[in-house]
Amino acid sequence: MSTVQRGAFIVIEGLDRSGKSTQAALLQSRLQNANVSVKLMKFPDRTTPVGKMIDAYLRSQSDVDDRTIHLLFSANRWEAVSSIESTLAAGTTIICDRYAFSGVAFSAAKGLPLAWCRSPDVSLPAPDLTLFLDISPDIAKSRGGYGEERYEKEELQRRVRNIFHQLGDELPKDGAGRWAVIDAGRDLNTVSESLWHEVAITIHDCTKQDSVGKLWQ
Ligand code: FDM
Ligand code: MG
């Protein structure tokens, strides 16, 4: 019988234009070069029927009630859970561009109660590591493309950043399920090195754990 070591569930969070997608792709190729089996995921996943509704909303092609869109973002994660679980169990590490922390931070920043925002995501697979790419909203704003989508407004991004920090402060700084703050205002290679350092620790630690935890419970 072969025993497969499970993959690590690694989430990258941050404001719009903090470099999440770029860094996720860099991390993927570094892991591949190190012969680690890796899969890139992203939320919202705009390809599913639910994701298409979210996409239309974000591009202001439809208006959706705040609570309803919040639940759709959460549903868009729940519909991926079986795939997340089977991927990890097969020994593949997941790098996930945004997750439930974005879900809570953006909706709470719009004024919905934080506890209400959190509840639909309770007991999703818990990340082994969340990398928070921290950037000031003024630097984010000065990067290309800002302002194209619904939430890309400086005042909202400031509130989102505060809530991200609040959610991160609840999580451990070391060990399973930890939250690591990365200064994403630095140059691309320096940020990439910091991420690599954190990821190496988690992949090493994960080999000691059988299954992924459950978020916020
Ligand atoms: N967003 C993302 C939410 O409001 N809730 C969520 O649950 C998630 C995953 O969607 F402004 C917001 C964050 C961002 C927008 O994200 C689209 P991308 O990463 O730019 O596609
Ligand atoms: Mg965006």
Whether 214 is covered by a domain: the verdict is no
pLDDT at residue 115 in the model: 98
How many other CB atoms are there within 10 angstroms of residue 122's CB atom? 12
| Strand ranges of the sheet holding 38-42, from the earlier edge strand across to the other edge | 38-42, 93-97, 9-14, 129-134, 178-183
Q: Which residue puts its alpha carbon closest to atom 13 of ligand 1?
A: 102
Question: Does residue 63 carry a pLDDT above 90?
Answer: yes
What CATH number is attached to the domain comprising 97?
Answer: 3.40.50.300
Whether 215 is covered by a domain: the verdict is no
Structural domain that includes position 72: 9-206
Question: Does residue 1 carry a pLDDT above 60?
Answer: no
| Average pLDDT over all residues of the chain | 95
Whether 1 is covered by a domain: the verdict is no
Does the predicted interface ipTM exceed a cut of 0.95? yes
The pTM for the full model equals: 0.96
Please provide residue 42's backbone torsions phi and psi, each rounded to the nearest 5 degrees. Answer: -150, 140
Flag the least confident range among 15-24, 135-144, 188-197.
135-144
Question: Does residue 103 carry a pLDDT above 70?
Answer: yes
Which ligand has its closest atom nearest to the C-alpha of 140? 2
Closest atom of ligand 1 to 106 CA is 4
Q: pLDDT for 111-144, tens place per residue?
A: 999 999 999 999 999 999 999 999 998 888 888 7
Whether 51 is covered by a domain: the verdict is yes
Pairwise CA distance, residues 174 & 165, whole Å: 16
Q: How far is the CA of 7 from the centre of ligand 2 (A)?
A: 27
| 13, 23, 77, 106, best to mutate for ligand 1 pocket (most atoms within 8 Å of CB) | 106
Tell me the average pLDDT across 21-31. Answer: 97
Q: Which residue puts its alpha carbon closest to atom 7 of ligand 1?
A: 103
Count of the separate structural domains present in the chain: 1
Whether 179 is covered by a domain: the verdict is yes
Whether 212 is covered by a domain: the verdict is no
Whether 216 is covered by a domain: the verdict is no
Q: pLDDT for 66-80, tens place per residue?
A: 999 999 999 999 999
